Amino acid sequence: MSCRRGALIVLEGVDRAGKTTQCQTLVQALQQSGREAEIMRFPDRTTKIGQLISSYLEKKSNLEDHTVHLLFSANRWEMVPLMKQKLEQGINLVVDRYAFSGVAFTSAKPGFSLEWCMNPDVGLPKPDLVMFLQLNPTAAANRGEYGTERYETSAFQRTVSQRFEELMQDSSINWKVIDAARTIEEVHKDIKLLSEDIISLAENQPVGELWK
Ligand code: Z5A
């Protein structure tokens, strides 16, 4: 008997929207309800490519803007065999940032079109569901100061938010916008419901290809 595949569920959102918190809470909830679920995050700073990215984000090294964009994409592609294997084994993958962050962050830099930024990620496993955690800048500020990593300034983050808005116009992606200004538990309830629905829907369908 062939195994039902796992769903590919992505959380995206602005800085401090609660992506990591919600990914962890969702994986725990799915596991507690008897489903197989694992978390993945991008950038995955544990690989050689991820270490180059981490050093760049921590401002310990400088990389040319096109180069670092391609490294972020390569960091996703290097995980694709593992992602496909896990999905085929029936494991639901809950992913903290994906190609949408890649496009939103690079296209917030001068001279980068959305189209150029999307190209290297065309053909990645397509998420069955992308939940965008929406939080206004005032509410985000109440969750603490920006960190010290590259990109963590309010002006840059505002442009990133605009790029996410543009990406969310794409009806080929199953976007759901989540009001992330509520309590962790309230946000989790919505995320869990949407995830359970998509897990049932996705299990009999093949994994799609992103932006193809
Ligand atoms: N990047 C890129 O340029 N290209 C790419 O292709 C990719 C990424 C994939 C990686 O950051 C950076 O790389 C990122 C994008 C860029 N740059 N920025 N900015 P990262 O993934 O390592 O870290 P992060 O994504 O910046 O984390 P974050 O956005 O700051 O946080 P978050 O995951 O959304 O939130 P959190 O850690 O779960 O929560 C933040 C705080 O809020 C924490 O104290 C929580 O306890 C609190 N919290 C969470 N939820 C709530 C609620 N509901 N109420 C109150 N407080 C809450």
> In the predicted model, what is the mean pLDDT of residues 156-167?
96
ipTM: 0.97
Whether the CB of 132 sits within 6 Å of ligand 1: no
14, 21, 112, best to mutate for ligand 1 pocket (most atoms within 8 Å of CB): 21
pLDDT beyond 90 at 140? no
Q: Report the distance separating Cα 84 and Cα 5, nearest Å.
A: 9
Token pair for 134? 């929406």
Q: Whose CA is nearest to atom 36 of ligand 1?
A: 18
pLDDT beyond 50 at 46? yes
> In the predicted model, what is the mean pLDDT of residues 34-45?
98
Provide the pLDDT for residue 2. Answer: 62
For 21-44, b/e burial (b = at least 16 CB within 10 A) is bbbebbbebbeeeebebeebbbbb
Pairing of the two strands 92-96 and 129-134 = unpaired
Whether the CB of 148 sits within 6 Å of ligand 1: no
Q: Is this prediction's pTM over 0.95? A: yes
Q: Report the distance separating Cα 33 and Cα 30, nearest Å.
A: 5
Question: Which candidate, 18, 23, 127, 120, places its Cα nearest to that of 66?
Answer: 120
